[in-house]
Structure 1
Amino acid sequence: MPRPKSTAPKYSLADRNGIFYVQWWDGKVKKRLSLGTKDRDEAKGALNQFLAGIDTPALPADPNIRTIMSGYVQDCRERSIASVASLDYASAAICEHLGDLQPAHLTRRECRSYAAKRHSQGRRGMAGGKWKAISDGTIIKELVTLRTALRWSQSMGWIDKVPHVETPRTPPPRDRWLTKEEFQRLLGNTSTPHVRLFMMMALYTGARTSAILELTWDQVDLALGIIRFGAGVGNKGRSTVPIVPELLSALKDAAFIRTTDWVVEYRGDRIRKIKTAFNKRVRAAGLTRVTPHTLRHTCATWMVMGGVPFEMVAKYLGNSVEMVERVYGHHSPDWLRKAAAALSGFSVPRGTENMAVTTIEK
């Protein structure tokens, strides 16, 4: 059976009277374009630039925010970004309220209006169903997604300047973590192998849910006892961490019976979501306000409580030292002790201890 003809034109170099051209067939018509050089090497370079220009899509004229969000999400999907589902959710909210705006029209007033509308709209407002309050944290994520998309559009040459995107004040971090008794109770109510393995990996590596569910066996070195979580997405860093003995035993058992390349698998397929199964075990254990991310907080909290330096905790989690100190610093037994020590050793002259009180009483 003959191979079907390609509809794409084939471009080639042609030498006419010492001047190089790029030539191609448009149907039955031969076309050519002068490259303006007599040097073959220069002509090859010019041909490559010409071909690159053909493959580059035309820039959108005066793109609005809806166009930018669509292009950004599509680019993330082509790069197999794990969080495309959350990007779709954020993009839908942004396009609903800000989609028709030009980037230059995105002001602080518009950002504040967006936050107010999302508060009143609620989590299920776009798709209908039961109304549920939306947090500032979710709105911040949506506006940060918009900011990232605008920076992406600038890098693509779509816009010249990225406008300021104002977000609500960052809410205080959740200080929910599990005691060792609570974690044992959680594991005790989890007999399903893949959920149990996920819990142990989340606690003993401090990795995010997405990093664990995307982990493949070629990233796990049982002989050396290390896990390489690979590159993160955006500012979500990932680390290479040692495997503690408790987790090593569980991983060896999982490796022995594995049927796929994914470390966390179920019925011969990878796991993409764990929240429903996880929440079921949380309820069975009688725990509240516990999510998969709580295990990452627990990992960090236990390390800080154990006196592990902030720098080492940050390296383990793939976070910044500043973030670890801000979120977990108060759990450290040495938190601000050096600052307090700088004030000690100062002796108040005898007879003046009650001077300030006496002065106030007078």
Structure 2
Amino acid sequence: MSGEWRLVLYRGAYCAYRREAGNPIRRALGATNREHAEAELARFVAAEARVTGGQLQTVGQAFDAYIQSRPAEGYARQRALWIKAAIQKVVRPDLLALPLEAMDRSACRDFAQARYRQGAKPGTVATNLGILRAALNWAAGERLIDKEPPMELPPSAPPKDRWLSAEEARALMDGAEAPHIRLFIILALHTAARAASLLDLTWDRVNDRFIDLNPPGRARTRKGRAVVPMNPVLAEALIEARRGALSDHVIEWAGGPVLSIKKAFRRAAERAGLPGVTPHTLRHTAATWMVQAGVPIAKVAGYLGHRDSRTTERVYGHHAPDYLQEGSAAIIERLHGPSMLFSPGSFEPVGGEQKSKTRQKRQSGAQKKR
């Protein structure tokens, strides 16, 4: 019986390794560094699967191939392993044991109902099925399976509109006792990046002009990653972190990469009196602050890595200073004429020639009290 291929360093060179019938089998990858070797290993495994033909018969086999294709020390592989463990909690239906042709929308609905009975929320179930769908889509793209099976995810929950004030953000940084948590908070607020991209960030993608959140060789996905500018606050925090760095990763703990920051972040939020605030709240906060400051939606979309600025408009548009002002002005002008148009937030008529009725009543009331 053959084991799965894994990456090893043999006589100074990276190679794919597994055991067959007790014998070691090695295949040279021709890679010069670990990141390159991991990418070559993924291609080697995919190519072998195509050559052997019909190797991937079940959903679980396709999911395992996807996991194997992710960088060994990266967040993406660890997250996929967590999702696999969550899917395995459901015995009926056992999605991973299903033949690929049996994977359909009905199986997804049955799985969702089983997870709900276990206490999982719709957002959690959507994440479980979403990562599985990404894996099957990848397998289809690599021609490891004929086509991506039809799947159905629970409806998306409305986006959370929780964002931090400047005072809350400072309190959160003060509540971060561990240096790597404080650094994560600073990076998240100033880059508007997702947690996964920050945990994957390595020093070779940081310089005095920008931070490149997209690692070399990473396939472009729906969740884009941007190149964001360096600023003085980021530079100060990163220079301090670089002095004590023990690994290639910017966010590190005990000399190695951090796979999950949720628990430590939750403790920092609780110490700051901000229960319910999550790492993603920081991304939402950064985007909200930019829109509130009048930064054009298209530029905010670029900062967030959104492919389509309509996504940014839908989630953050209502924070813009002039949100729907043109529509409101058109209604007022039609009903009451241009003299009743007010500049946003001032309650002063355009041109400042007349005072609003609201302000007149306020002043009249004050004079009567005197």
Q: How far is 1:276 from its partner? A: 2.4
Q: How far is 1:184 from its partner? A: 1.1
- Choose the corresponding residue for 1:280, options 261, 267, 278: 267
Q: How far is 1:299 from its partner? A: 0.7
In the other structure, the counterpart of 2:43 is none
Partners of 2:49 and 2:114 lie apart in 1 by: 41
Partners of 1:185 and 1:53 lie apart in 2 by: 51
TM-score by length of 1: 0.70
Please report the RMSD computed on the Cα atoms of aligned residues, expressed in angstroms.
2.7
Partners of 2:336 and 2:169 lie apart in 1 by: 49
Q: Secondary structure at the match of 1:160?
A: coil
**In structure 2, what residue type is equivalent to 1:228?**
D
Q: How far is 1:198 from its partner? A: 1.2
Change (3 A) 1:332 1:59: same
Change (3 A) 1:68 1:347: same
Q: Secondary structure at the match of 1:99?
A: helix
**In structure 1, what residue type is equivalent to 2:117?**
S
Bigger Rg, structure 1 or 2: 1
Partners of 2:150 and 2:96 lie apart in 1 by: 16
In the other structure, the counterpart of 2:333 is 345
- Superimposed CA distance per residue, residues 14-46 of structure 1 (whole angstroms, 9 cap, x where no aligned partner): xxxxxxxxxxxxxxxxxxxxxxxxxxxxxxxxx
Within-5 A mapping of 1:325-336: 325-336=313-324
In the other structure, the counterpart of 1:88 is 81
- Superimposed CA distance per residue, residues 57-108 of structure 1 (whole angstroms, 9 cap, x where no aligned partner): 4122671222222222223356x65311221232344464223333333333
Q: Which runs of 5 or more structure 2 residues have no equivalent in the other structure?
A: 1-45, 338-370
Change (3 A) 1:253 1:341: same
In the other structure, the counterpart of 1:186 is 172
TM-score by length of 2: 0.69
In the other structure, the counterpart of 1:147 is 133
**In structure 2, what residue type is equivalent to 1:338?**
E
Change (3 A) 1:253 1:338: same
- Choose the corresponding residue for 1:244, options 218, 224, 231: 231
1:228 aligns to 2:212 (yes or no)? yes
Change (3 A) 1:256 1:151: closer
Q: How far is 1:310 from its partner? A: 1.2
Partners of 2:81 and 2:108 lie apart in 1 by: 19
Within-5 A mapping of 1:1-362: 57-60=51-54, 63-76=57-70, 82-94=75-87, 96=91, 97-121=94-118, 133-222=119-208, 224=209, 226-231=210-215, 234-319=221-306, 320-347=308-335
Tell whether the 8 Å contact from 2:56 to 2:62 is kept in structure 1 after alignment.
no
In the other structure, the counterpart of 2:358 is none
Identity %: 38
Q: Which runs of 5 or more structure 1 residues have no equivalent in the other structure?
A: 1-51, 122-132, 350-362
Residues paired across the two proteins, number: 284
